[in-house]
Amino acid sequence: MSVQMDRLKKLLKRVFAIIGGVFALAVIGVIVKFYVLSPKSRPAPVMTAPTNGEAVARGKYLVTSVAACIGCHSPVQEEISGEPPVEGKVGAGRDFGGSGAVHIRAPNITPDKEHGIGDWTDGEIARAIREGVSKDGRALFPQMPYQTYRETLSDGEVLDIIAYLRTLKPVADDPGRTSVGFPVSMFIRGVPQPLDQAPPPPPSPSDKMARGKWLLKVTSCHDCHDSRDAHMEKIPGREFGGGMRFTNAHGIVYASNISSDKATGIGAYTAEDIRRVLDEGKGKAGNTTYVMPWGYYKGMTSEDKDALVAALMAEPAVANIVPARQVK
C-alpha cells in the first residue's frame, strides 16, 4: 500500500510540475507578447508635409470639419451644444476624466516644443495618427481612432493635416498622459499595428455614395453610435444602433440610434432633418443635442454633407430604444 502511495505522490508531483511549467510558459508568453513585442511599430517614416496655402486649407478642413480633431484635442465648453473649444486653447489637449483605472487625456497637438508636437518630425506625427504609436514609442489609447485613420487617410490627407497643425498657435499647456491600469494597459499595447501600405485617396465628391461611406468612417460616427456590450466591444450587426453612454455638464447623454429604423432610429427623418442636426445641433423634434460635435461638422461642404446623409440613410435598420438624456 505504501508503494502505491509513493507512486501516486510522484505522479502528482509530475502533474503539478507540468502544470506549473505550462503556466510559467504562458506567463512568459504573455510578457513577451505584450511587453517585449508590443506595441508593434516601425521607425517613423521619412515624410515631409507641404507648406503651401492649398495644403494648409485642405488640412484645416479635415482637422476642423471632418475628423474634428480639434474637438478631442482642445478643452471645450461642454455646457454649450456643439462643444466649441475654449478661446485661445485650440489644440492644447483635453482631459476627458476617468472611470475606475482609466483616465483619458488627449495630448497637446499645437507646435509647442515642450508640451506639444513642435519637436516631432512629420513622420512621427503621421505614425501617431495612423499607427497609434507616440514619439517615444508608447501605444496610444484607441479612443484616438488611429485604426480608422489607417484605413481612410492617404499620405496626401495625413500630410495636409500635419501642414495645418504646424500653423496652430503654440500653447504651453500639458493635459498630462492617459493613465490605464492593469490589465487593460497590457491589452492596449497590443492594438497598434505598423502601416504596410497607405490607403488610396478618398473617393471624389462625384461618387456620392462612396464618398459618404468614407465620411461616415473618417468622422468617427461608428465610434460613438455603434451599439456596444458591457465590455465596450462593438456588437456585430448593430452598427449605428446607439446607446453608448456619456457624462457631460448637462448630465448623462446616450448616443442616438442613427440607423434607418423608423421606430427607434432616424428612418422617419428626411435628409433635411439630418442636415439640421449637422448644421444646428437640433433633432427632428427641435431638441438640442449634446456631446455630438456638430459644431465642427457644420463646417463640411454642402456636397460632403449631402454624401454623408445619403450614405447614412442607406444603412440597415437596427431596432434599439436608446434611453432619454438624464438632466442634472
Task: Flag whether pLDDT at 89 surpasses 90.
Answer: yes
| E strand or H helix at 273 | helix 271-280
Q: How many domains does the chain have?
A: 2
C-alpha 213/C-alpha 311 separation (Å) is 6
Provide the residue range defining the domain that includes 98.
53-188
Which cell numbers in the block locate residue 101? 483605472
The CATH number of residue 275's host domain is: 1.10.760
Please state, as a whole number, how many other Cβ atoms lie within 10 Å of the Cβ of residue 40: 15
Q: Are residues 59 and 182 in the same domain?
A: yes
Which contacts qualify for 179-188: CB closer than 8 Å, 24 or more apart?
179/98, 179/101, 179/102, 179/103, 180/101, 180/102, 180/103, 180/141, 181/100, 181/101, 181/102, 182/101, 184/101, 184/102, 186/30, 186/34, 186/35, 187/34, 188/139, 188/141, 188/142
Q: Mean pLDDT of all residues in the chain?
A: 90
Residues 184 and 216 in one domain: no
Residues 224/230/234/237 CA torsion (nearest 10 deg) = -110
Asked if residue 251 and residue 221 are part of one domain, the reply reads yes
Three-state SS at 28: helix
CA dihedral for 129, 132, 138, 139, sign (positive or negative): positive
- Provide mean pLDDT across the span 74-89: 94
Length in residues, the chain? 328
Query: In terms of pLDDT, which residue wins out, 100 or 260?
Result: 260
Residue 125 domain-assigned (yes or no): yes
**What is the residue whose three cell numbers read 502505491?**
4
Residue 7 falls inside a structural domain: no
Report pLDDT for 230. Answer: 86
Q: Quick check: 250 pLDDT over 80?
A: no
pLDDT score for 16: 56
Confidence of residue 251 (pLDDT cuts 50, 70, 90): confident
Mean pLDDT for the stretch of residues 4-16: 58
Q: For residue range 148-168, what is the model confidence (pLDDT) as tens digits?
A: 999 999 999 999 999 999 999
* Type of residue at 187: F
Query: Looking at the structure, do residues 214 and 168 belong to the same domain, yes or no?
Result: no
Q: Are residues 256 and 285 in the same domain?
A: yes
Minimum mean pLDDT among 95-99, 112-116, 314-318: which range? 95-99
pTM over 0.95: no
Least confident of 44-53, 114-123, 205-214, 287-296: 287-296
Would you say 133 and 127 are in contact if contact means Cβ atoms under 8 Å apart? Answer: yes
Distance in angstroms (rounded) separating the CA atoms of residues 256 and 309: 15
Residue 313 maps to a domain: yes
Q: Are residues 145 and 235 in the same domain?
A: no
pLDDT at 232: 82
Average pLDDT over residues 267-277: 97
Q: What's residue 197's pLDDT?
A: 93
pLDDT band at 248 (very low <50, low <70, confident <90, very high): confident
More confident residue, 195 or 21: 195
Q: Cα–Cα distance between 4 and 146 in angstroms, integer?
A: 62
Same domain for 90 and 132 = yes
Q: How far is residue 158's CA from residue 145's CA, in Å, rounded to a whole number?
A: 13
The verdict on residue 31 lying in a domain is no
Q: pLDDT band for 311, please (50, 70, 90 cuts).
A: very high
Query: Which residues lie below 8 Å from residue 247, measured CB to CB, with a gap of 6+?
Result: 97, 253
Residues 222 and 283 in one domain: yes
Q: How many CB atoms lie within 10 A of CB 196?
A: 7
Interacting residues of 163 by C-beta distance below 8 A, sequence separation 6+: 49, 50, 51, 55, 56, 58, 59
Q: Cβ of 205: how many Cβ atoms within 10 Å?
A: 15
pLDDT confidence band for 187 (50 / 70 / 90): confident
Q: Flag whether 152 is in a domain.
A: yes
Contact 182/109 with Cβ under 8 angstroms? no
Same domain, 184 and 57: yes
DSSP conformation class of 289: P
Look at residue 255 and tell me if it is in a domain: yes
Indicate whether 214 and 144 sit together in one domain. no
Residue 115 falls inside a structural domain: yes
Digit-coded pLDDT (tens) for 34-76: 444 457 889 999 999 999 999 999 999 999 999 999 999 999 9
- pLDDT tens digits along 98-121: 877 889 999 999 999 999 999 999
pLDDT at residue 261 is higher than 80:
yes
User: Are 215 and 170 part of one and the same domain?
Assistant: no
